[in-house]
Structure 1
Amino acid sequence: MPEMPKDDPRIARARAAWRFRGQTRPDFAIEPGPDQESVWDYPRPPAIRPEPRPVRVLAGTVTLADSNRAVRVCETGSPPTLYVPPQDVAMDLLTVSPTRSFCEWKGQARYFRVKNAAGPAIDVAWCYPEPLAGFEPHAGWICFYPGRVACFLDVERVLAQPGGYYGGWITADVVGPFKGEPGTSHW
């Protein structure tokens, strides 16, 4: 995927296309209980928040990441994605994938696979090496797919966001429904 210039008008069009922006919770949203938050209250553009819980990521029994410095990126309709500073990731266990994608809020993503993994080569993580405005402090920070490697927040095993494209981390403290299932691309 060729890199999109940061002032490309397609970015503005993509940002304007979203139906929900976190100002009003839609009727179909689940009401959060005590100590829960609704992903429908998250803003668009996404908010970056510190994550106080430790983050741990495993490929089988091998630790890929262990951090107390992660941030949560909270965007309308999606469970948070957790980004870990590269210093807290075993980068020597990862290899760059040819996969690329573009987020109208964060920029062009680079993906990673586990080196010498048994089975088919799959993307397990991504980062934004040269992000758009607003995400620059987290350039190069790594986010892992909880459906492809074992991700933990403190002791809780994280569930994967539906659909396989997005990498949100579903925990007991967030309620949806979550973007990612068929028919939810406009959320």
Structure 2
Amino acid sequence: MASGGAPSQQQQHHHQQQLNVQAFPRPPLVERCNKHIQIMWHGALVADCPAGESYWVLETHHPPTYYIPPKCVRLPLCTTPRSTFCEYKGQATYYSLMSPISAADTVSNRIWSYMEPMRDYEAIKGYIAFMVGPWECYVDGERATAQPGDFYGGWVTSNIVGVFKGPWATWDPPQNAYAPNVPDQRHHAAPFPNMQF
């Protein structure tokens, strides 16, 4: 697929190494990510980030959250009054995005960044993160689904397994409650690899 087009099924990677969220670290790890990230909404390309230009944040019980440089976002974002604080990354700034087909359809507070991140997270300063939905989010051509609960911003793809932290900020979900793709990985968590795979 040429950069800028809609992702195709042929792009999907069916033999990716599985990553178990229970093997992810805490405090979270931020790494350069060798994945092609795209976001589509009503057929328009909202963001297109080539492999190697984004970061992902990996945290125990969370699927990856992807942070992309502002230059890769093709539609304008407007800041909103909302602000939240993360004990690791710092104060988050939130944005609204107007639908490419209707000015009346504006979605707020599902996009954020850290303009002054705390130590160890400076790499993502000013980078933009999107929750999954209402737009479609793709990782190397595979459409991601949202982390359960509509509270956190993780992206779930077919190679992400384990028990996810879910709704109502639950810290330790019941075994198998949010464990897609595998019956149980709680006691079989393989170490996550460096992002260069």
Conserved 8 A contact 1:124-1:148: no
How far did residue 73 of structure 1 move? 0.5
Runs of 4+ residues deviating >6 angstroms: none
* 1:40-119 paired onto structure 2 within 5 Å: 40-68=22-50, 69-90=53-74, 92-115=75-98, 117-119=103-105
Q: Distance in 1 between matches of 2:70 and 2:59?
A: 22
Equivalent pair of 1:124/1:149 in contact (CA under 8 Å): no
Q: C-alpha distance in 2, partners of 1:150/1:124?
A: 13
Residue 57 of structure 1 and its aligned partner are, at CA, apart by 0.9
Segments of structure 2 that go 5 or more residues without pairing to the other structure are 1-14, 174-197
Does the 8 Å contact 2:35/2:139 carry over to 1? yes
CA RMSD in angstroms, aligned pairs only: 2.1
Query: Which digits, 9 at most, give the CA deviation of each residue in 1:127-154, with x for residues without a partner?
Result: 0000111111210100101133211001
CA distance in 2, matches of 1:66, 1:173: 21
Whether contact under 8 Å (2:97, 2:106) holds in the other structure is no
Deviations 1:76-126 (A, max 9, x none): 010000000111112x52111111111111001011111365436432310
- Give the alignment's TM-score, normalised by structure 1: 0.75
Secondary structure of the corresponding residue to residue 123 of structure 2 = helix
2:163 is paired with a residue whose SS is coil
Q: What is the CA–CA distance in structure 2 between the aligned matches of 1:36 and 1:97, rounded to whole Å? A: 37
- Amino acid of the structure 1 residue aligned with 2:111: A
SS for the counterpart of 2:95 is strand
Matched, 1:129 2:115: yes
Task: Calculate percent identity across the aligned residue pairs.
Answer: 38
- 1:16 equivalent in structure 2: none
Letter in 2 for 1:58: M
Q: Is the 2:98–2:105 contact (alpha carbons within 8 Å) kept by the matching residues of 1? A: no
Q: Please state whether the residue corresponding to 2:17 is helix, strand or coil.
A: coil
Q: Please state whether the residue corresponding to 1:40 is helix, strand or coil.
A: helix
